[in-house]
Structure 1
Amino acid sequence: MPEIEESPQPAPGVGPWPGEWPDGAHYDPELLANGDTRNVIDRYRYWTMEAIVADLDRRRHPFHVAIENWQHDLNIGSIVRSANAFLADTVHIVGRRRWNKRGAMVTDRYQHVLHHDTIDDLVAWARERALPIIAIDNVPGSVLIETFALPRECVLLFGQEGPGLTDAAIEASDAVVEIAQFGSTRSINASAAAAIAMHAWVTQHATLPLAE
């Protein structure tokens, strides 16, 4: 049977800017000349990374995302990516400073990320700013996130895949919520749970974009 040649996949993004270049300090001359293959929305095509971050900073939502990192969880990168998609203010890594950035798909360049050595350090940071900590875990005493009024300004706290949040994290939280489940598994993937929780915040507080 003859081999079927696969047609080359088109390069992602856009090519060099056609015609006369636009004015504006937010444009990157190198991208205008060579094209922009980054995974960014059309609004940010050809913009410098610094200009994109500055524009995002003007619109960030007032919720934070915190993740315990005791076991070098591979989900952290995916959680950072979701935090960027939902425009979280900052992602806080609690525990090990190093984390696997592969799942972030370079979105960590556009997302503020802070490190805290311990849960106590995170709590102190949150208390200084009067930010309640909302833990997401299916433990005894938790309430359904679908029925919970999330504070507009808060920290959403997530644990590791498998063991979930530590006892210290649960005790430090102002509330503990869980995501309603209907199947046979005891829990859902940590990065999926984080995305659901962030979307729950969005449905309660965000100004939604107009459909095109």
Structure 2
Amino acid sequence: MAGVAHMVEISDVDDPRVDDFRDLSRADRRPDRPGGRGLVIAEGVVVVERLLASPYPVRALFGVRRRVEDLAEATAELDVPAYVADADVMARVVGFHLNRGVLAVADRTLAVDPAELVARSRRLAVLEGIGDHENLGALFRNAAALGVDGVLLGAGCSDPLYRRSVRVSMGHVLRVPLAHLETWPGDLKMLRDNGFRIAALTPRGGSKSLRDAGLDQGKVAVVLGSEGPGLTDEAIEAADVAVRIPMAGGVDSLNVATAAAITFHALSGT
């Protein structure tokens, strides 16, 4: 098809040209698993389009013909192969039937320097102990929608570029800058040194109500923790203020991505 660069038909399940897409239900190419290659994997036309528009260098596409053709405009100038197979061959390569019909893989770019991200930002999310990939994906989607400049990953966080996180974020994890903090919670000092007010989100007693915390003023970093134990005492003590979302009686917490969305909206002042 004109407009899709390097379209290549794949009929052999064992064709080595599609090894980047092989057995994703088992290895998923995570760098922290045996054999993992650390590739970024996008699923579906919308998410693949966002990968193509991101800083991550695309290696190849793989899908059924109709879905690859849907990407003709986005791939017209792309100098990588677009592998095409029928749904059965694709399912046998990937390891499961893919309803979205198309995948793309990319290399990870060099990690962003957290100091550089902090220096160019006004509103940041800082995460501690968020291990659920779906929560991470939803949180990044909320950050993109509500104008958060970047996400800093502290201790105990899972990989936000894991395939499930990318999918749940609808590809927005690929556009929100992220960086890893090496020393936790000591690196929060870097935020304070750059003029940030650090707000720890926690339902514990004595926390200031979100509506009264004034988070729409100046540079603000919101620290969010895992749904179970929440933020550690060390993280809360390292913050400038502990903030809670007012809730009706009988409910003591929210899903972390939901809590993040409410708080990110408060940062905007709208």
> Per the shorter chain, which TM-score range?
0.5 to 0.7
TM-score for the superposition, normalised by structure 2: 0.51
> Which residue is 2:72 aligned to?
34
**Cα distance change on mapping 1:33 and 1:149 into 2, 3 Å:** closer
* Of 192, 195, 208, the match for 2:258: 192
DSSP 3-state at the match of 1:161: coil
Q: Percent identity?
A: 28
Q: CA RMSD in A?
A: 2.9
Aligned residues: 156
Deviation of the 1:94 alpha carbon: 0.4
Q: Does 1:156 align with 2:183?
A: no
Q: Name 1:43's counterpart in structure 2.
A: none
Q: Distance in 2 between matches of 1:172 and 1:186?
A: 23
Distance 1:84 1:33, change over 3 A: closer
Q: Distance in 1 between matches of 2:222 and 2:157?
A: 19
| Residue 198 of structure 2, aligned match among 125, 133, 139 | 133
Distance 1:117 1:32, change over 3 A: same
Question: What stretches of structure 1 of length at least 5 have no aligned partner?
Answer: 1-10, 14-30, 38-56, 205-212
Q: CA separation of 1:121/1:33 partners in 2, compared to 1, >3 Å: closer, same or farther?
A: same
Q: Secondary structure at the match of 1:125?
A: helix
Does 1:124 pair with 2:124? no
Report the equivalent of 2:87: none
User: Counterpart of 1:145 in structure 2: which amino acid?
Assistant: L
Shift >4 Å, 4+ stretches: none
In the alignment, is the contact (CA less than 8 A) between 2:146 and 2:265 conserved in 1? yes
Are 2:124 and 2:150, in contact at CA under 8 Å, matched by a contact in 1?
yes
**In structure 2, what is the Cα distance between the partners aligned to 1:140 and 1:97?**
25
Q: Does 1:72 align with 2:105?
A: no
Q: Do the aligned residues in 2 keep the contact of 1:97 with 1:115 (CA within 8 Å)?
A: no
Report the Cα offset of residue 118 of structure 1. 3.5
Q: Which deviates further from its counterpart, 192-201 or 88-97?
A: 88-97
Counterpart pick for 1:179 among 241, 245, 266: 245
The answer to whether the Cα contact below 8 Å between 2:200 and 2:236 also exists between their aligned partners in 1 is yes
Q: Deviations over 1:44-66 (max 9, x none)?
A: xxxxxxxxxxxxx9xx9721001
In structure 2, give the amino acid aligned to 1:143: K
* Alpha-carbon distance in structure 1 between the residues aligned to 2:74 and 2:250: 45
Aligned to 1:20: none
**Residue number in structure 2 paired with 1:114:** 179
Secondary structure at the residue paired with 1:133? strand
CA distance in 1, matches of 2:269, 2:157: 32
1:108 Cα deviation from its structure 2 partner? 1.6
CA contact (8 A) 1:77 1:99 kept: no
